[in-house]
Structure 1
Amino acid sequence: MTEAAAPLPPARTPGRYAVALVCLGNICRSPTAHVVLARKVEDAGLGEQVRVTSGGTGGWHVGGPMDSRAAATLTAAGYDPSRHRARQYEDDWADEHDLVLAMDGQNLADLRAVSPGLAAEGRLRLFRDHDPVEPGGEVPDPYYGGDDGFEEVLAMVERTSDALVARLARAVAP
């Protein structure tokens, strides 16, 4: 069974599911995924059952807003990024989340180092393991590129979030 075909790990609390999205600084990729996934969860009527959070493996931007280019890309697509404030992934997230999704291989390796139990339980994966177009791919970091990189990330995040919401709906079904 491929990672993309692997079922979601079971909810720690029946009928509820907590997902954390993690990148390096929590200002571009993971907040984009957070805003999009949270909206799609709400639109699917799962807002009371599924909690979405995001953080970075590094703490450089804690408390700050997301990158202005990421925010502008989200706003242009009809999302509201204004409430995001960068957070850092903390060790206790391993016990609070049913699934932790890293944006790239280095984020995944960093998370394995600080939360080895998550990987052993199958609760630590790449975000794009759920991508119907390229399962297991990485979400590229658009920070040092142009606006088109942020648009590419948004397209990946939207289609992956659609697939993930369908799986989350099954995970919280009675």
Structure 2
Amino acid sequence: MTQCILFVCLGNICRSPTAEGVFRALAEESGLEVEVDSAGTSDWHVGDPPYGPMQLAAKGRGYDLSALRARQASARDFTDFDLICVMDEKNRSTMEALRPAGNKTPVQLFLDHAEGTGPREVPDPYYTRDFETPITLIEAASRGLIAQLLRQ
């Protein structure tokens, strides 16, 4: 069964499109059949490509985000996806507020899938200006989640 996973951050121009692109690439390398998408909890950037400096950092690590476009998360995502991975607690709380009554789709911090100890939230590079650390964290969480899904 193909898993459908949604990655969520605030604006869907830095962290979540990077998670979508990284996860898709690493899943393909591992042979995992998965459908992925990304969304933002805000509507600020709907239709925009990922933030330029984020795209450059991702491209430098071998990930092409140029075809992705921002969209806003909705209640429908809870029926369209098997798992929703958020970048921070604020994103989790916003997504939980969208949850339809009775829906059981898990909403998890993405970094909870990374092995070892470390931060639980992916820092927002739009504000920190550090675009490399989020990619490293997203790669670690992607590898952990892929390993988990391959074991199922």
Q: Does the alignment pair 1:106 with 2:87?
A: no
- Post-superposition shift, 1:114? 0.8
Which amino acid is the alignment partner of residue 144 of structure 1? Y
- In structure 1, distance between residues paired with 2:17 and 2:120: 18
The equivalent of 1:60 in structure 2 is 44
Distance 1:117-1:73 versus aligned 2 partners, 3 A rule: farther
Question: What are the ranges of 5 or more consecutive residues in structure 1 without an aligned counterpart?
Answer: 1-14
TM-score, normalised by the number of residues in structure 1: 0.82
Out of 137-146 and 51-60, give the one that drifted further.
137-146
- Equivalenced residues, count: 152
CA distance in 2, matches of 1:112, 1:103: 14
Percent identical residues: 39
Shift of 1:111: 0.5
More helix by share: 2
TM-score between both structures, scaled by the size of structure 2? 0.93
**DSSP-derived class of the 2:50 partner:** coil
| Pair 169,135 (structure 1): closer, same or farther in 2 beyond 3 Å | farther
Say whether residues 1:137 and 2:120 are aligned partners: yes
Question: Given the alignment of the two structures, is residue 127 of structure 1 paired with residue 110 of structure 2, yes or no?
Answer: yes
After superposition, the Cα gap between the structure-2 partners of 1:151 and 1:136, relative to the gap in structure 1 and judged at 3 Å, is closer
Q: What is the letter of the counterpart of residue 50 of structure 2?
A: M
Distance 2:128 2:120 in 1: 19
Structure-1 separation of matches of 2:35 and 2:118 = 23
SS at match of 2:127: coil
Deviating runs (4+, > 2 A) in structure 1?
133-136
Letter in 1 for 2:58: L
Q: Residues of 2 paired with 1:72 and 1:96: CA distance? A: 30
1:38 partner SS: helix
The equivalences for 1:28-39 within 5 A come to 28-39=14-25
Q: Matches of 2:36 and 2:69 in 1, distance apart?
A: 14
Residues 129, 135 of structure 1: 8 Å contact kept? no
Give the structure with higher Rg (CA).
1
| C-alpha distance in 2 between matches for 1:116 and 1:93 | 10
**CA deviation string 1:9-60 (max 9, x = no partner):** xxxxxx12100000000000001111000101111112xx310110000111
1:80 equivalenced with 2:61 (yes/no): no
Whole-angstrom CA distance in 1 between matches of 2:118 and 2:112:
5
Structure 1 counterpart of 2:114, one-letter code:
D
Indicate if the aligned counterparts of 1:126 and 1:136 stay in contact, CA closer than 8 A.
no
CA contact (8 A) 1:140 1:153 kept: yes
The residue number in structure 1 matching 2:77 is 93
Cα RMSD between the aligned structures? 1.7
Cα displacement (A) at 1:122: 5.8
